[in-house]
Each structure stands twice: as structure tokens, then as C-alpha cells.
Structure 1
Amino acid sequence: MKVGVLMIPGYQEFMYPLLKLLEDRNEHTLRDAYIQLADEFNLSEEQREKLLPSGKQKILHNRIGWARTYLKKAGLLKIVRRGVFVITEAGLDVLENPRVIAIDNAFLMQYEEFREFKNKEKIIAPPKVDPDDNSITPLEKIEQSYAVLKDEIKEELLEKVKSGTPLFFERIVVELLVAMGYGGSMKDAGQAIGRSGDEGIDGIIKEDILGLDMIYLQAKRWENTVTRPELQKFAGSLDGQRAKKGVFITTSNFSEGAKDYVNMIDKKIILIDGDALTDYMFAYNIGVSQEESFVIKKVDEDFFESE
């Protein structure tokens, strides 16, 4: 296929060709996809090298990357390790359907995982219409795109936290709590975490820099849902310490029974699941770094009215 000199296909146009590239069931990298899809679309050297307005990434790479992200959200491909992915059985089913000759966001909405992803995007970002709808303002598009980027980063953060060692998870908890204003210094917090030998308690940390009150911690790097019995055990451990405040952190999630239980008791136990953990990590810059910054400006009407 042939495109104009400056017309680079949109990310949705790359979806089907990208999935087709994975039809051999082998592992593929983004670097392979950049080259092979650029060849398939007969892109010129100028098109391959054209940069985003920020000047920090090629448009081609950005759009293929988003095509991969959306296919992954729909469960048509899966990431096996950073930058490497393979097709799934659901993806193969799509390619075997002779009626499917293109894939776009509307097509992906048939998959529950993708609908959940889009619904989450709607909760995070304001006024929701389709991001590709030209009726929304440029600012709304920026906000929606930011929500998608944040969700993608949080997902990758959680995967890295789960794949790390228990010691690494402990370090993340320490750095996060200190960044949030608890524990005093890193040295104080590091000494407090992991020192308790009491059953059901993984550590104790200062609530404030002076240590006027202490918070007891339980951290579970789990895949399974944390249920009510685990919270009851933790609450019992707090009783043994005559403590009234605790934080239970997990990489998974909490059952409704567990949430109901902590709302019933007189102790204050804060539940932080995998989604909340990565949300805090994102907000307090734990495990993430700034890649790009945009400042939105508007005309200062007061400045001109004073003339």
C-alpha cells in the first residue's frame, strides 16, 4: 500500500497489520514491528524519521506502540517481557475470520477486557466521547491521552513489583511511605520496616517525623485476593501491640468481605491494593521518571484589560 509523502497511517490502521505480523506465533519485538510495518506501508525515509512535535519520539514508533497497547488491552496479544510480545488464541481467532479485514477501537469493544479498560479511562478523564471524535477539544484529547498513558504505566509498574524480590517490594514500600511523609528519614523507615517478629505484622513505621504515633504494616506481594481472615489476623496482631492504626498493602486486591470488615471495627486499617499502590507510586514518583512535560497556557485577559 502507498501513502502520501507526509501521511503516516493512524494507530488504528496499524492494528490489523501488526496482529497479522504475529500470526507465526513467534516472539516479536517493537523494533521488528517498526521496520516490517514501515516496509508494508511503503513508507519513505522521511515518513519513518518524522518526529512528534516534542522532537523526542518518531511518529511511526508512537503509533505502532499505541496499536500494540490497544491490542494488548483487548487480549489479542500479550507481553512476554519488556518490548517482546506474542499473539494469543483470541488474536489467532480474529485472523482466521475471513470477514475481518481491519481492526479499530469499535471492533475491540467486543472484548470485555478492552471495555473495562475504556470504562476505566472514562472514570479517570473528564467529558467522555471517543478520543478519535473530532468534536472534542484539543485539551480534552490531551486529558484523555494522559489517562491512557497513566494506566499503561501503572500496569507496567505492577508487573515489575510482582516480578521483583520480597526485599525489593519492602524497599518500594519504604520509599513510598517516606515520600508520602511517613517514617521520618529513609534510615529511620528502613530500620522500622521488617523488624517486627510478631505474627501478622511486617513492620512498624512512624506516623510523623517525631514518632508521636506508630503505624503497623502488613505487606503481601500476592496474586490471590486478600480475604477477611487475613484482615482479622492483622487486626488481632494490632490488639497484641495495643495499636489502633495499620496499613495493609497488597499487589492484588481485597475481597468485599475484607473491605466490609475493616469498616466494622474500631481500629483504623487502611487498605492499599495493587491499583492504589501503583497510583501512589505514580503520584509520588516512585519507580517512574519524567519523560516529557507540557505547559498549557491561555491569554491573560487581565493583562490586556489594564492597558
Structure 2
Amino acid sequence: MTIPDFQSIMLPLLNLFADEQEHSLREIIDSLSETFALSEEERAQLLPSGKQSMFNNRVSWAKTHLTKAGLLKTTKRGYFQITQQGLKVWKEHPPKINNKFLQQFPKFIEFKQNKNSDLNSLDVDDDNKFTTPEEELESAFQKLNQTLASDLIEQIKSGSPRFFEMLVVDLLVKMGYGGTRKDAGQVIGRSGDEGVDGLINEDRLGLDVIYIQAKRWQNPVGRPEIQKFTGALEGFRAKKGIFITSSSFTNDAQEYVERIDKKVILIDGDKLAQLMIEYNVGVSPVVSYEIKKVDLDYFMEE
């Protein structure tokens, strides 16, 4: 079964409170996961940011909607209970509860009309809107990053091979390899012979080294190039290597590195662009948004 959208969760959520007892959010999430027969993999699925469970996020928003409509109430830190209005709705056995259904409650409309409302961005007239605000924000963020990554790849491919080598140095240093940029720059792109462009320290103390191959190519890198690189590693008695390209790798190349004993990481143009975005190489922040939530511990009285 797929993870239900937050509107589909509203009615089953209200049903859990029909016993008129207090229930914690954790208890609600566990019970609803059984109601929807979610697998462990579905329970563990995260939002694109990797910061929160998708199902937990949707349950939380369903609870928020019912609370703002006056069907549920907060009783104490982290605990909720059905209201008399909520009990009345439950006894009427509605076929479903969604955004459109909640418009009949003045508290919900009042909250929606509040310009500072965290639900103000939700179109409550649209009962076909299934994503939560976090999901919409993260989806937009992912789309912006995809466009940015595409632009980065174009810039990389239009630059010189020497610039590409410098870019690789900057990225690896930002990721924690090579010590200082000066140290790293002395070993990358030095000669390009014997199938290896250079090497870089795996850690600041230089306890181990990683051999690097950097190719600013337009065409996909095939298995022969990878075999040449791994053969060079053998000549250096090296166990680790990174092959970075501005293009892509063929299936044969990827399957080959999965079968060999040496640890060889392949970084194609798409992965390279994403790493540049993550470590702020060749990009600059334009604007940032900080999402906050209520700190329940702060409101806990002794």
C-alpha cells in the first residue's frame, strides 16, 4: 500500500479518538500505520530533505487540520483528545473528512483567513490537494536544485580541462580531503600519465591517499577507461580511487566497478553538480528559509 495523503488520514485519525481518551501523537502514528497496513519501508520513507518521516509529517498535518476545526483539542504536552464537536461529527459517520468538509466549521475558516496562518498557503476549497506544506516546499526546492545542477553542468562543460581540475580540487577540499587547498592543488592534475591525474590525502594527516582521474568529457565514459584507471591503481598498489567526469558512465563501466575488489567511486556530471551545490562550490546562496515548530518542552510546567 502507498503512503496515504494527509486528507485521507483525517477520518481514520478522528476514529481513533472516538473512545474519548487522551492519545499521544506517537500513539496515533503507530495506530494509523497499522490501520493503513504500512510496511517498515513505507514507515521509514523520508521527505526529500531526509529530516522527517513522510507519514509522520502527513499525520501531523491531518491532526493540525482537525484541531484547528475544533474537532480535536490539546490536553497536555504531546497529548490530544476529541472535543464534543468532534464526537458529534464522528457519530454522524461522514464518508470522508477533507479540506472541503472542514469549511463548515467557523474556527477553521477563521484560522484560514488569518494572514499569519500556517495553513494560509493551503487552498482549503480544493479537496484534491494532497501534499503538505513541507512537501510542497521541498518539491519546489528540488526543482530549483535540478535547474541549478543543469546550469552547473553547462558551465563545467564550457570551461577548460585545467579549470575542471581546479574545480575538482576545490570540491574535494570542501568535502574534507587533502588538508589545505594548497596541499591538494600540488597533486591534482600534475601529469596525467600512467592513467592517473593525481592523488589526494584521504584525511588531513595523510594516513591514506586516494588516486584521482578527472575527465571533462562530453561523451559517456566506458569500461575501457575505467579498466585503464584501475590498472593504474594496481601499479601504485593503491586500493582507492575516484573517477570524476562531467558527462556520464556507461552501464558496463558501472557494472565493472561493482565486481572488482578495489574501492572505486564513480562521480558523473549529475552527481558532481549535486555535490557542488551541497558544498557551495561554484554557487552562492540567494535566500534561505528556516522552518520552525513549537517547542513543547518549553511549555512543559513543573
Task: Please classify the TM superposition score into its range, dividing by the shorter chain length.
Answer: 0.5 to 0.7
User: What is the CA-CA distance between 1:226 and the residue it aligns to?
Assistant: 0.8
User: What is the CA-CA distance between 1:197 and the residue it aligns to?
Assistant: 4.5
Instruction: State the partner residue of 2:248.
Output: 253
Instruction: State the partner residue of 1:212.
Output: 207
Q: Any conservation in 2 of the 1:183–1:209 contact (CA below 8 Å)?
A: yes
User: What is the CA-CA distance between 1:160 and the residue it aligns to?
Assistant: 0.5
Q: Any conservation in 2 of the 1:253–1:273 contact (CA below 8 Å)?
A: yes
Instruction: State the partner residue of 1:292.
Output: 287
User: What is the CA-CA distance between 1:136 and the residue it aligns to?
Assistant: 2.0
Q: Any conservation in 2 of the 1:250–1:274 contact (CA below 8 Å)?
A: yes
Whole-angstrom distance in 1 between the partners of 2:171 and 2:228 = 24
**Residue 300 (structure 2) aligned to one of 284, 300, 305:** 305
**Residue 227 (structure 1) aligned to one of 209, 222, 226:** 222
- Would you say 1:168 and 2:154 are equivalent positions? no
Question: Greater RCO between the two (CA within 8 Å, min separation 6)?
Answer: 2
Instruction: State the partner residue of 1:194.
Output: 189
Whole-angstrom distance in 2 between the partners of 1:291 and 1:197 = 37
Whole-angstrom distance in 2 between the partners of 1:164 and 1:175 = 15
User: What is the CA-CA distance between 1:124 and the residue it aligns to?
Assistant: 4.9
User: What is the CA-CA distance between 1:154 and the residue it aligns to?
Assistant: 0.7
Larger radius of gyration: 2
Instruction: State the partner residue of 1:264.
Output: 259
Q: Any conservation in 1 of the 2:188–2:197 contact (CA below 8 Å)?
A: yes
Structure 2 residue identity aligned to 1:175: D
Q: Tell me, what secondary structure is at the counterpart of 1:215?
A: strand
Gaps of 5+ in 2: 1-46, 55-121
Q: Any conservation in 1 of the 2:48–2:138 contact (CA below 8 Å)?
A: no
Gaps of 5+ in 1: 1-122
**Residue 275 (structure 1) aligned to one of 267, 270, 274:** 270
State TM-score, norm by structure 1: 0.56
Whole-angstrom distance in 2 between the partners of 1:236 and 1:158 = 29
Q: Among the aligned pairs, what percent are the same residue? A: 57
User: What is the CA-CA distance between 1:162 and the residue it aligns to?
Assistant: 0.7
Whole-angstrom distance in 1 between the partners of 2:216 and 2:192 = 18
- Cα displacement string for residues 108-166 of structure 1 (whole angstroms, at most 9, x for unaligned residues): xxxxxxxxxxxxxxx95796xxx996332222211111011111111111110111111
Residue pairs, 1:1-307, within 5 angstroms: 124=48, 134-306=129-301
Whole-angstrom distance in 1 between the partners of 2:153 and 2:205 = 32
- Cα displacement string for residues 226-263 of structure 1 (whole angstroms, at most 9, x for unaligned residues): 11111111111111111111100011111111111111
Whole-angstrom distance in 2 between the partners of 1:182 and 1:251 = 20
User: What is the CA-CA distance between 1:303 and the residue it aligns to?
Assistant: 1.9
Evaluate the alpha carbon distance shift between residue 221 and residue 284 of structure 1 in structure 2; reply closer, same or farther with a 3 A threshold: same
Q: Tell me, what secondary structure is at the counterpart of 2:157?
A: helix
